[in-house]
């Protein structure tokens, strides 16, 4: 069994209440930080832990914190990003539902480290039940003296509020989230300036994912070095993986980074294999934005090494043969799933969620969706496949925010690895309407890489 740092007490009855959470050692991190550490010490511990942003980008949290500008006379803000909307990702919802005080505790510790006296937890509006849960938890924490003025006599003040979103995936992008929190349309800002210099209300701001904030609690309790001992290389600590799709046991799992992908899918400790005795066809390993990989590439790298659940191993091979850990939204597809249909579905999502501010994304996402729809419904042309690749390239890297890339990658990667399935939809349109392409060769062992020798 891997170590559980976030979900250790998840099955304890009443852990969502302050009382039980406290009994189980909750709010020790707040006591430790406020009574015995300076804000700089807390930042240092988080740096030492090697914690990387759990929302998707994987940027080192401690380094992000150290970029925060500290001008005189200007407040600083910590905003927690609970806008979880990446298809395949539902870990933050799980955490907020079942162990809300872990997030509150993390918010207090992190706000103290950053010198923020007002912090916001931005939660997507659809998670109204979680918003209620957090509001209740905040009230309990405040009642117990962990929020408000002069917390634990340390002189540190903190007010914590929950802000609902309104239904927009783009608000998971930190500057769009800030705009939304200011009561505006969720149009991402043009950077620079970065939020660390000018964010919420033009003040220095840090935006962190729910899981990143929660992870600061075990980091402070056990020390950054202890945390960094878990995992492999620069992938330290534990990560919540949201497993969904055609799995025997979908759900949220806390893994030590470094678990082999194969073990994660098939072992009884985690997903328990593919549902209904089917075979695995493909995996989206880090939320819908990251490249989809066929079975043979997700289980092993091109060099024949076992692929691990780490930032580095999943990215091994670059976009040619690798993918990304992203937000840890792990979607498994069995042999009955149609990759063209799935790509069209994702494409519709990005089309629907594009904010419309910059032209390549606004126009390109809709264009890709229409072409994919045509392919899926048997009216495609072979040239459509190259057209999609080209349109995705015209979007990728040319937009204000990463949504353009996120829309381009699933399409480009699906064609890269499943091109014959796309072609089959064009050459056998009638058949494609009645059955799926199936597993084909996507799980076949990869040919050995032949060493290239100079002649």
Q: 91-120: which residues touch other proteins (CB under 8 A)?
A: 92-93, 118
DSSP-derived 3-state class of residue 190 = coil
Told to check if 165 binds other proteins by CB under 8 A, we report: yes
Residue closer to other proteins (CB basis): 29 or 271: 271
Positions 324 through 343 that interact with other proteins (CB under 8 A): 329, 331, 333, 337, 341-342
Q: Which of 139, 190, 320, 382 binds other proteins (CB under 8 A)?
A: 190
| Nearest distance from C-beta of residue 25 to other proteins, angstroms | 27
Told to check if 286 binds other proteins by CB under 8 A, we report: no
Residue closer to other proteins (CB basis): 88 or 106: 88
Told to check if 167 binds other proteins by CB under 8 A, we report: yes
Q: Which of 61, 89, 198, 323 binds other proteins (CB under 8 A)?
A: 89
Positions 192 through 221 that interact with other proteins (CB under 8 A): 192, 201
Q: Which stretch binds other proteins (CB under 8 A): 33-41, 230-238, 386-394, 438-446?
A: 386-394
| Nearest distance from C-beta of residue 54 to other proteins, angstroms | 14
DSSP-derived 3-state class of residue 5 = coil
Q: DSSP readout, 397-451?
A: T-SSSTHHHHHHHHHHHHHHHHHHHHHHHHHSHHHHHHS---STTTTSPPPPPPP
Residues in contact with 363: Cβ distance below 8 Å, sequence separation at least 6, in sequence order: none
Q: CA 386 to CA 406: how far, in whole Å? A: 19
From the list 303, 356, 362, 293, the residue with the least C-alpha distance to 330 is 293
Vertex 57: Cα angle to 56 and 58 (nearest 5): 95
Q: Which of 49, 163, 198, 221 binds other proteins (CB under 8 A)?
A: 163
| Nearest distance from C-beta of residue 224 to other proteins, angstroms | 29
Q: Which of 146, 264, 266, 346 binds other proteins (CB under 8 A)?
A: 346
Angle, helices 382-395/359-376, rounded to nearest 10 degrees: 160
| Nearest distance from C-beta of residue 365 to other proteins, angstroms | 7
Told to check if 180 binds other proteins by CB under 8 A, we report: yes
Q: Which of 39, 88, 204, 291 binds other proteins (CB under 8 A)?
A: 88
Specify the DSSP element, H or E, that contains 262.
helix 261-266
Residue closer to other proteins (CB basis): 300 or 417: 417
Q: Which stretch binds other proteins (CB under 8 A): 66-74, 143-151, 261-269, 388-396?
A: 388-396
Q: DSSP readout, 299-365?
A: HB-TTSPBPBSSHHHHHTTHHHH----TT-EEEEEETT--HHHHHHHHHHHHHHH--S-SHHHHHHH
Vertex 17: Cα angle to 211 and 21 (nearest 5): 65
Tell me phi and psi for residue 274, to 5 degrees: -85, 140
Positions 239 through 268 that interact with other proteins (CB under 8 A): 242-246, 250-252
Q: Which of 40, 182, 225, 444 binds other proteins (CB under 8 A)?
A: 182
Q: Which of 81, 235, 310, 399 binds other proteins (CB under 8 A)?
A: 399
Q: CA 150 to CA 136: how far, in whole Å? A: 21
Q: CA 294 to CA 406: how far, in whole Å? A: 19
Q: CA 299 to CA 262: how far, in whole Å? A: 6
Told to check if 5 binds other proteins by CB under 8 A, we report: no
From the list 347, 407, 410, 419, the residue with the least C-alpha distance to 382 is 419
Binding flags for other proteins, 42-81, as an x/- string (CB under 8 A): ---------------------------------x------
| Nearest distance from C-beta of residue 415 to other proteins, angstroms | 16
| Nearest distance from C-beta of residue 196 to other proteins, angstroms | 17
Q: What Rg, from alpha-carbon coordinates, does the chain have? A: 23
Residue closer to other proteins (CB basis): 281 or 300: 281
Residue closer to other proteins (CB basis): 223 or 272: 272
Q: Which of 13, 183, 318, 447 binds other proteins (CB under 8 A)?
A: 183
| Nearest distance from C-beta of residue 329 to other proteins, angstroms | 7
Q: Which stretch binds other proteins (CB under 8 A): 186-194, 421-429, 430-438, 440-448?
A: 186-194
Told to check if 413 binds other proteins by CB under 8 A, we report: no
Q: Exposed, middle or buried by CB within 10 Å (0-12, 13-18, 19+), for 440?
A: middle
Q: CA 256 to CA 277: how far, in whole Å? A: 27
């Amino acid at each position: 069994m891997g170590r559980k740092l976030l979900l250790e007490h998840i099955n304890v009855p009443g852990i969502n209440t302050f009382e039980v959470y406290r009994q189980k050692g909750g709010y020790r991190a707040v006591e430790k930080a406020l009574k015995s550490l300076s804000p700089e010490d807390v930042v240092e511990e988080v740096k030492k832990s090697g914690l990387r942003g759990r929302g998707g980008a994987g940027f080192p949290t401690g380094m992000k914190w150290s970029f925060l500008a500290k001008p005189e006379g200007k407040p600083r803000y910590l905003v927690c990003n609970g806008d979880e909307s990446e298809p395949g990702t539902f870990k933050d919802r799980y955490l907020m539902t079942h162990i809300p005080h872990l997030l509150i505790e993390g918010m207090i510790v992190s706000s103290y480290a950053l010198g923020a006296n007002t912090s916001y937890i931005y939660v997507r509006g659809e998670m109204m039940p979680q918003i209620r849960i957090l509001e209740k938890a905040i009230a309990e924490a405040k009642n117990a003296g962990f929020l408000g003025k002069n917390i634990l006599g340390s002189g540190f003040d903190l007010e914590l509020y929950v802000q609902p979103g309104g239904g927009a995936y783009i608000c998971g992008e930190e500057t769009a989230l800030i705009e939304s929190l200011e009561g505006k349309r969720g149009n991402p800002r043009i950077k620079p300036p970065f939020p660390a210099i000018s964010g919420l209300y033009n003040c220095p701001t840090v935006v962190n994912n729910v899981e990143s904030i929660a992870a600061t609690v075990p980091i402070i309790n056990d020390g950054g070095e202890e945390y960094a001992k878990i995992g492999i290389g620069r992938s330290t600590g534990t990560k919540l993986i949201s497993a969904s799709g055609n799995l025997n046991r979908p759900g949220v799992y806390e893994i030590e980074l470094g678990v082999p992908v194969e073990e994660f899918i098939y072992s009884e400790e985690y997903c328990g294999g593919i549902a209904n005795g089917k075979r695995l066809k493909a995996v989206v390993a880090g939320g819908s934005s990251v490249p989809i990989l066929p079975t043979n590439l997700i289980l092993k790298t091109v060099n024949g090494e076992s692929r691990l659940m780490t930032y580095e191993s999943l990215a091994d091979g670059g976009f040619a043969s690798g993918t990304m850990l992203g937000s840890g939204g792990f979607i498994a597809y069995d042999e009955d799933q149609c990759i063209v249909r799935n790509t069209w579905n994702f494409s519709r999502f990005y089309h629907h969620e594009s904010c419309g501010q910059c032209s390549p994304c606004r126009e390109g996402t809709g264009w890709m969706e229409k072409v994919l729809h045509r392919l899926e419904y048997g009216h495609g042309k072979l040239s459509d496949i190259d057209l999609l690749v080209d349109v995705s390239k015209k979007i990728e890297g040319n937009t204000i925010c990463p949504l353009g890339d996120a829309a381009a990658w699933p399409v480009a990667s699906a064609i890269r690895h499943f091109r014959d399935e796309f072609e089959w939809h064009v050459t056998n349109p009638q058949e494609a309407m009645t059955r799926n392409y199936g597993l084909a060769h996507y799980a076949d062992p990869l040919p050995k890489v032949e060493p290239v020798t100079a002649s």
